Amino acid sequence: MSELPEYLYGDSLRWNFGFENPNKAAVLFACLLPLCWLAWSASWRIGRLWLRIPAIVFSGLLFLGAGGCLLSTFSRGGLVAGLVAMGYLWFQSFLRLKVVRSEGDGGDEGDEGKGETTSFWQSPSFWFSLLLILLLICGAIWCGLAERASSGIVGDASVTHRLELWKGALQMAHDNPLGFGAGQSGTAYMDWYQALERTEGYRTMVNSYLTFLVERGWALFGLSLTLAVLFWRWSLPHGKHCQLIISLKASILAFLVAGFFSTTMENPWLWILPSLAAFAVVAMMFATKETPRWGVVLRDSITITLLLLGGLWMLGWWMASKDPLIRECGHRDGLRTVVSVSPRNPAHSIHLIPDPIVLGDRYGKLIQALALGANSRVGLEGGGKSDLLLATGVECFKKASDERQQVIWIAPPVPSESEAANLARFAHPALLLNPEIDEDGRSSWWIAHPLPHTQIIPLDGVGTRIDWAWDRIIEIIKKPADGI
């Protein structure tokens, strides 16, 4: 069993608590914070003093422990998730307290209403609660997480990279509404949407929602979003379980917020706590026996979903409109992916038949550079007429050109006897770009067996992988494309 990688912030080890990434561990503790606070609040209402004191101490230590573990992950996303969840919990509890007070002040609730009107400023629980919060704030400052969080506000590499990645994700969702397929978002971004000069590697969109949208498409994303909004709109806190519902929803909210900053939702273990909380909320909502106005709930949920989807689509359209390249998506090699790249006003069209041995496994950036450099639409599918056929490696022998196409072969291998016989009858002028470094005998074979009507151009300084000479190749391709 391989050891988990270690993550550091400066000289401090970021604890991962058995997860492969500290950001995922932070989600767990962010979800626990509202539940620990619920236990802390409930302990103050225990009637017997000999039970109340131990419960207060234990629940307070539990809350500090969950907060301390969250701080030790150094996860800014987890910190934001915890703060948002606790802010929601405190805000909703304060609103509920105001409602109860106003009812008590009316004089209709008798002694119970009068008890609720006691100012919480005079309550020991308030001041001890404030002490717990101050202890966590001091812990964040002491361990350095507060400094790390503030550096994210003014900007650092991880934040700026995320912003660039998320912009690309919105454009990817706009260009490919059906999605790129499970596990393909990071690869598709690096191939087709990452800036040509950038080299950062990504497995996902570093955002659970954008990853799901880019990989699964708008239909499934919209359905999931509708269900989430429907649940949140339906489960408005009310009834005798109000405080418990607020705390459970705060725990769910921490999970949802944390998923915005990392692809944490791909870990099934992290779904256990928010799923149990959601089931508990549903059970308590039915236990109240208050029938919701389903027409209003459905209307609001669908309206909010459509507004969110429309906003995301408009952002993707805006990002696509600013890009100098237009990408067309379709099915290729069993994947829903990019099948052509074109500048805004292409002067020519090129049909490229790629061989990963020659171009590398991820040749999307080479195709983008070719489209820009040659001002040409570069298609990977054979549909339609093209001005130039560009074939690489073993693919050089798999498509015969017609007289209307110019042909360029890049690093073709040594042909078989039947392929050599067919090539001997090839009478259309072509260019053959031959690597200078002969790694497997292909370069010397073509020099020893030149074809009629075929001009051999050496590619200096490269072997079978020719991406290092791609700028030189683009210059060569531009001449046939311009009719020279």
pLDDT in tens, 49-88: 888 889 989 999 999 999 889 988 888 888 899 999 999 9
So what's the pLDDT on residue 107?
Answer: 45
Q: Is 376 within 8 Å of 481 (Cβ atoms)?
A: yes
DSSP 8-state code for residue 290? -
Residues 248-277 have a mean pLDDT of 94
How far is Cα 259 from Cα 23, in angstroms, rounded to an integer? Answer: 10
pLDDT value of residue 133: 82
* Whether residue 1 has pLDDT greater than 50: no
The residue ranking higher by pLDDT, 451 or 375, is 375
Q: Alpha-carbon distance 129 to 63, whole Å?
A: 10
- Whole-number pLDDT of residue 110: 41
CA distance 91 to 99: 13
CATH H superfamily, domain 325-481 = Alpha/Beta hydrolase fold, catalytic domain (3.40.50.1820)
Beta-strand ranges (E) seen in 310-381 are: 325-332, 335-343, 348-353, 376-379
Report which of 217, 221, 225, 226 is spatially closest to residue 302, judged by C-alpha positions: 226
The better pLDDT of the pair 158, 24 is held by 24
Which residues partner with 328 through β-bridges? 340
What is the spatial distance between Cα 429 and Cα 401, in angstroms, rounded to a whole number?
Answer: 10
Q: Give kind and range of the element (H or E) at residue 13.
A: strand 12-14
What spatial distance separates the first Cα and last Cα of the chain, rounded to whole Å?
A: 60
pLDDT digits 0-9 by tens, 320-354: 999 999 999 999 888 899 999 999 999 989 999 99
- Nearest CA to 193 out of 208, 213, 217, 173 is that of 173
**For the ranges 127-136, 298-307, 447-456, which has the lowest average pLDDT?**
127-136
Measured CA to CA, the distance from residue 175 to residue 317 in angstroms comes to 8
Residue 154 reports pLDDT greater than 90 = no
Instruction: Identify which has the larger pLDDT, 291 or 148.
Output: 291
User: Which of 98-112, 210-224, 230-244, 466-480 shows the lowest mean pLDDT across its residues?
Assistant: 98-112
Partnered with residue 327 across adjacent β-strands are: 341
Q: If pLDDT is split at 50, 70 and 90, which confidence band does 99 have?
A: low
Note whether 358 and 393 are within 8 A (CB). yes
462: left (phi over 0), alpha (psi -120 to 50) or beta: beta
pLDDT of 476 higher than 80:
yes
What's the pLDDT score for residue 98? 62
Q: Output DSSP code: residue 106.
A: T
DSSP code at position 4: P
Percent of all residues in the chain with a pLDDT value above 90, rounded to a whole number: 46
Look up residue 58 and give its amino acid: F
User: What rounded mean pLDDT belongs to the chain?
Assistant: 84
Q: Mind listing the pLDDT tens digit for each residue in 377-424?
A: 999 876 667 888 899 988 887 765 555 678 899 999 988 888 777 777
Six-digit token string for 398: 């798999």
| Whether pLDDT at 189 is above 60 | yes
Weakest-pLDDT range from 107-121, 218-232, 277-291: 107-121
Report the alpha-carbon distance of residue 221 to residue 278 in Å, rounded. Answer: 19
Q: Which long-range contacts (CB under 8 A, 24 or more apart) does 393-402 make?
A: 393/355, 393/357, 393/358, 393/359, 393/464, 394/355, 394/357, 395/353, 395/354, 395/355, 396/353, 397/422, 397/423, 398/353, 399/353, 401/428, 401/430
More reliable by pLDDT, 242 or 154 = 242
Report helix, strand or coil for 65: helix
pLDDT for 427 beyond 70: no
HSE (CB half, 13 Å, CA atoms) of 370? 30
Order of strands across the sheet that contains 430-435: 325-332, 335-343, 376-379, 348-353, 388-392, 406-410, 430-435, 454-459
DSSP assignment string, 151-206: HHHH--HHHHHHHHHHHHHHHHHHH-TT-S-TT-HHHHHHHHTS-TT-----SS-S
CA distance 459 to 473: 8
H-assigned helices in 323-413 = 356-359, 364-373
